[in-house]
Amino acid sequence: MRTDPYRLTVNGRPVEVIDGHAGESLLFVLRERLGLPGSKNACEEGECGSCSVLLDGDLVCSCLVLAAAAADRDVATVEGLSDAGGEVGPLAYVQRAFVEAGAVQCGFCTPGLLMAVDALLCEEPDPDDLTVREAISGNLCRCTGYGRILEAVDRAAAMRREACS
C-alpha cells in the first residue's frame, strides 16, 4: 500500500516523500528515498542504536519510527552534524573527538554514537562516567570495547566546553 505524500524536515531542510510504502521505517526512507545513508541499518529491532537520529530533539531508533507517522516532524541525522551537510568538509566537534581518540574501527556504530553523544552533551555539558555509560547504553559497538569511545566522549565534552566558554 502506498502512503499519501508527506513532509519531513531533515537537517533543517523540508523534504517531501511522495512514493512511500505504508510499513516503511524512517531509517529506510532516510537511506533509500532521501539519499542519506549515514544512519546505519543493522538489527531493525531497536537493539543496536546504529540508526539513531533525533526526532523533534529526542534520540530515537529510526528503524522503529514508522516514517509516515513522523510527518511534519524535525529529523536530525549524522549528515547534519557538521556544517558541511554530508559533503567532505570540516567535521563537527564530536566527529573530531572520535577521530582523534581513535574511537572508530569498522565505523558501523559511529553515526549512531555520534548522535547519542551530541544529544547527551547538549543536555549535560559535563557528564560523569555513569551518565555517559547510561547515555550510550543503547548503542552497541562490537569492535572497540568502548574504551576509546568513552575517551572520545571526554574529549568531545572538553572541546565543546572550550568552544562555548
Partner 1 sequence: MTIALTLDDACAALAADPTATVLAGGTDLMVQVNRGDHSIGNVVAIDRVPELRGWTREGDVLRIGAGMTYADMADPGFGALAPALGQAARTVGSPQIRATGTIGGNLATASPAGDMLPVLVALDAVVELRSSDGERHLPLDEFVVGVKANALSAGELIVAVRVPVLHGPQEFMKVGPRNAMVISVASLALVVDPFGRTVRVGLGSVAPVPLRATEAEVMIGGRIDWEGGRPPTAGDVDRFGQLVADAARPIDDHRGTAAYRRHVVGVMARRALVRAFGMVGEEAA
User: Smaller CB distance to ligand FAD: residue 50 or 82?
Assistant: 50
Distances (CA, A) of 125 to 13, 112, 117, 132, 134: 27, 19, 10, 11, 15
Positions 34 through 93 that interact with ligand FES (CB under 6 A): 41-44, 46-51, 61, 63
Distances (CA, A) of 97 to 72, 78, 116: 33, 15, 14
139 near ligand FES (CB under 6 A):
no
User: Smaller CB distance to ligand FAD: residue 51 or 121?
Assistant: 51
Q: Answer yes or no: are the C-beta atoms of 77 and 11 closer than 8 Å.
A: yes
DSSP reduced 3-state for 116? helix
Q: Which does 109 bind (CB under 5 to 8 A by kind): ligand FAD, ligand FES, partner 1, none?
A: ligand FES
Provide the minimum distance between the beta carbon of 145 and ligand FES in the complex, in angstroms, as a whole number: 9
Q: Which does 116 bind (CB under 5 to 8 A by kind): ligand FES, ligand FAD, partner 1, none?
A: partner 1
- Please provide residue 148's backbone torsions phi and psi, each rounded to the nearest 5 degrees: -70, -25
Residue in the structure block whose three cell numbers are 531508533? 61
19 near ligand FAD (CB under 6 A):
no
108 near ligand FES (CB under 6 A):
yes
Binding site for ligand FAD (CB under 6 A): 45-47
